[in-house]
Structure 1
Amino acid sequence: MATDRRTLLADTAIAVLADTGMRGLTHRAVDRAAQLPPGTTSAYYRTRQALLTALVRRLVALDQEELEEAGAHTPVPRTAEELTAGIAALVGARLTGDGRRRSLARYACAVESAHHPELREILLPRENQGRRLVRAFLAAQGVADPDDRTVTLLTCVDGLVFDRLVHGGSVQDEEIRGLVAAALR
């Protein structure tokens, strides 16, 4: 749960965006969803752009926390199957519950960032423990240029998540296994 008003409003804005899309993200909609008096959101985030920027910053912070936490308790995978299982767990989390909402909001913001470079800058992929684990695994397997392969693998995984959010269904372990195998070639 949010610890302060700004965080509460940003968290609520993520949920509103995920549930209603970019056009539904308004100050009033956030006020209603947060069960706050009308005008509260605009008092904290005067413009829609300020609200959207706060939402994107909070979204990135939540994603980074999730990836750091997941990676903190996970050793570097020793086998392709271990890496596949780790990625499958992340994908499952991104397609269900709050993870699904954040994923929907993230992709809506990614599209919006094509028109707002300041958002694109916030959304740039960041270093985190999950990314470090993938890179360390690929390096241990002797993959040439593990940095580039890590980016490619995670981008492909991201594409699978996007596809399933749009078209429904789940990501199968075989799909992830195939991506991991391609990264190892």
Structure 2
Amino acid sequence: MPTDRRTLLADAAVDVLAQSGFRGLTHRAVDRAANLPPGTTSAYYRTRQALLTALVRRLVALDQAELQDIGERTPAPRNAEELTAGIAAFAGQRLTGEGRRRSLARYACAIESVHHPELREILVPRENAAHRAVRDFLAAQGVADAEARTVTLLTCVDGLVFDRLVGGGTVSDHEIRGLVTAALR
């Protein structure tokens, strides 16, 4: 549990958004979720926009830390099967537990960023060890423009995760294998 009050409130805001959507994201709801006295959230994040910006920054920080960790602790894939397994495991994490909560909040923020471009700037994908591992694997396989293919592959995986969050179900290894095969062509 975070000891910094701002981080605690941002984490609580992620929970509220994932559970209740944007209509439920209020300063009072965040106070309750953080188990803090009424008015605490508004003391730290005076406006809804300030709260939303803090929430998005926290989501990005958590995602980047997770992706960096995955990239650093997972050996580089040696073949398409290992890449498929790694991506499938990651997609599965995005659909359950902590990953599901953050995914729901992230997608809600992505939609909201259409109306708030300053949020889009925060949400822009960043370089991390996991992204590099996929790009390096594709480059080692002789794929032309490995960076563009990496972005396309990971965007397709993200779309599958979104579809399964909304419609239910899981992302299958078969689907990921198809995407990896397409990226290698």
> TM-score range, shorter-chain basis?
over 0.9
Runs of 4+ aligned residues of structure 1 deviating over 4 Å after TM superposition are none
Q: Distance in 1 between matches of 2:33 and 2:74?
A: 36
CA-atom RMSD in angstroms: 0.5
- Match of residue 30 from structure 1: 30
The yes-or-no answer on 1:6 pairing with 2:6 is yes
CA shift, 1:92, in A, is 1.0
Structure 1 segments unaligned to the other structure (5+ residues): none
The yes-or-no answer on 1:169 pairing with 2:184 is no
- Match of residue 16 from structure 2: 16
- Match of residue 52 from structure 2: 52
Q: Distance in 2 between matches of 1:35 and 1:74?
A: 36
Deviations 1:108-133 (A, max 9, x none): 00000000000000000000000000
- Match of residue 153 from structure 1: 153
CA shift, 1:2, in A, is 1.1
Identity %: 81
| TM-score, normalised via structure 2 length | 0.99
Deviations 1:130-162 (A, max 9, x none): 000000000000000000000000000000000
- Match of residue 131 from structure 2: 131
CA shift, 1:75, in A, is 2.2
How many residues align structurally?
Answer: 185
- Match of residue 39 from structure 1: 39
The yes-or-no answer on 1:178 pairing with 2:178 is yes
AA aligned to 1:104 is: L
AA aligned to 2:63 is: D
Q: Distance in 2 between matches of 1:93 and 1:68?
A: 15
CA shift, 1:68, in A, is 0.4
- Match of residue 80 from structure 2: 80
The yes-or-no answer on 1:122 pairing with 2:95 is no
- Match of residue 62 from structure 1: 62
